[in-house]
Amino acid sequence: MKNKLKIKGDEERMASWVERLIRKEFISDYELKSDYKGVKYLIKVSSPMSPEKITECYVSVDCPEETKPLKELVDEIDEYSDFLWHATIYISDDKKTLNKQIELCHKWAKEDIDSLPDKIKEAEAKIKKIQGIIQGLKKFRK
């Protein structure tokens, strides 16, 4: 499975965030492993390494090692999936408290996990479509 950078939504802000992470301007301060319906996920609190920007903390959802196989499967179904990969850095709200950001990340993670039955249906629909394509191609085989 390929490791791809997928940008959706506010592309400029996301690209800036990714660039800052690559330049290591943020440091992960705190990491909490949570479990919802048997699926583990991480909530990470990160802050800028620069002391004058300390108010720019953000919170993100990520996958621990034991959940990466599940994420890879979901990513195979939907190549633009952001399953268990979200961050509050995109939200432009000066009043977002750290607790609200953490709550929001838990909400996003739970929504992702709750979407798994839909992902199964999506995979089944793709299989059915591919089977139809195969049958159509076989008609032209000599």
Chain-centroid distance, C-alpha 61: 7
> Domain for residue 5, yes or no?
no
* pLDDT greater at residue 65 or residue 99: 65
Residue numbers of the domain that contains 18? 11-116
pTM: 0.71
Q: How many domains does the chain have?
A: 1
Cα distance between residue 58 and residue 90, in whole Å: 9
DSSP one-letter code for 95: T
Condensed to tens digits (0 to 9), the pLDDT of residues 16-61 reads 555 555 445 555 667 889 999 999 999 998 876 555 554 567 889 9
CA distance 48 to 64: 22
List the one residue out of 39, 64, 35 whose CA is nearest residue 117: 39
Measured distance CA(88)–CA(12) in Å, rounded: 15
The verdict on residue 46 lying in a domain is yes
The answer to whether residue 140 is domain-embedded is no
